[in-house]
């Protein structure tokens, strides 16, 4: 559901929320939507309450031309969803850009004095300064990028990008291409995509990364060995910074573990959730 007060789109499913029910907040990556979590949603719904968020500018969310598309802006909106809906027992799950947003959200919750966070699941999450991939760097030239997008079409662009960020380019399916391309068929969506890309590196990145050691909840970091978008070195650095982190590396996998290694990735997550479900965690 889209809401009048917040420029996001939220879908909820699973068990009714309550003080003894886990709530899983799913935050997608750049140029994606809640579509990217489709294989996890029904499984998580069997375990608790699932909140799938299309961040501002993506998927079915509103795409206002207001210039506020930085990761900190997105984290502020996720935080407001959590507060508005009185969500608790939170497991924040973020992929790529959404991983960075999840980390920022965890810090926001901590700064507000909240004890709502229970776990983090970061999948190939953007966390530290790194070389940006070509499809993000092109946003420096918004008119040129928008023209390429219009001429080539979202299906062509998405198919090409997916094939460059996975381990096995032959494994990219037309279902995946359509699922990622469909939300990008409007001028407003392309403009929001480029706005987000130009602001994707936080201006206060050094200050933010210096605080990762404050996030004391158990964290699972899930990475593909062959990730060329957010390299494994980022995951290793994040694992060293977080007080209670475990890094799991998937072999023959690129930037999309949930898509490329769905069963193996889920088995790791399921084990992590089970291991961190005891009351003393």
Q: What's the rounded mean pLDDT across residues 127-134?
A: 93
Of 3-7, 74-78, 107-111, 164-168, the one with minimum mean pLDDT is 3-7
Q: Which of 203, 207, 255 is nearest to 234 (CA)?
A: 255
Over residues 198-254, the pLDDT tens digits come to: 999 999 999 999 999 999 999 999 999 999 999 999 999 999 999 999 999 999 999
Provide the residue ranges of all domains of the chain, joining segments of one domain with +: 9-131+202-275
- In this predicted structure, the answer to whether residue 138 has a pLDDT above a threshold of 90 is no
Name the CATH superfamily for 9-131+202-275.
Alpha/Beta hydrolase fold, catalytic domain (3.40.50.1820)
**Between residues 141 and 23, which one has the greater pLDDT?**
23
The pLDDT tens digits of the residues spanning 247-279 come to 999 999 999 999 999 999 999 999 999 999 865
Contacts of 260 (CB under 8 A, 6+ apart): 166, 167, 168, 171, 224, 250, 253, 254
pLDDT tens-digit series, residues 15-49: 999 889 999 999 999 999 999 999 999 999 999 99
């Amino acid at each position: 559901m889209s809401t009048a007060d917040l420029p996001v789109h939220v879908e909820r499913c699973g068990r009714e929320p309550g003080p003894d029910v886990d709530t899983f907040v799913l935050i997608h990556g750049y140029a994606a939507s809640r579509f990217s979590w489709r294989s996890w949603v029904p499984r998580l719904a069997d375990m608790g309450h699932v909140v799938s968020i299309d961040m501002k500018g993506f998927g079915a969310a509103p795409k206002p031309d207001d210039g506020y598309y930085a990761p900190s802006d997105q984290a502020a909106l996720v935080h407001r969803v959590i507060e508005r809906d009185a969500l608790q027992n939170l497991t924040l799950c973020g992929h790529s850009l959404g991983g960075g947003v999840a980390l920022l959200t965890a810090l926001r919750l901590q700064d507000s004095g909240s004890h709502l966070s229970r776990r983090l699941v970061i999948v190939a999450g953007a966390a530290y300064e790194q070389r940006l991939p070509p499809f993000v760097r092109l946003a420096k030239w918004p008119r040129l990028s928008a023209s390429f997008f219009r001429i080539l079409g979202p299906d062509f662009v998405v198919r090409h990008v997916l094939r460059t960020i996975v381990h096995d380019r032959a494994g990219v399916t037309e279902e995946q291409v359509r699922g990622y391309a469909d939300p990008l068929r409007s001028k407003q969506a392309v403009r929001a995509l480029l706005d987000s890309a130009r602001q994707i590196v936080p201006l206060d990145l050094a200050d933010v990364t210096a605080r990762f050691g404050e996030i004391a909840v158990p964290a699972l970091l899930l990475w593909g060995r062959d990730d060329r978008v957010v390299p494994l070195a980022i995951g290793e650095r994040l694992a060293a910074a977080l007080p209670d982190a475990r890094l799991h590396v998937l072999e023959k996998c690129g930037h999309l573990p949930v898509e490329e290694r769905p069963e193996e990735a889920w088995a790791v997550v399921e084990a992590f959730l089970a291991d961190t479900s005891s009351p003393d965690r």
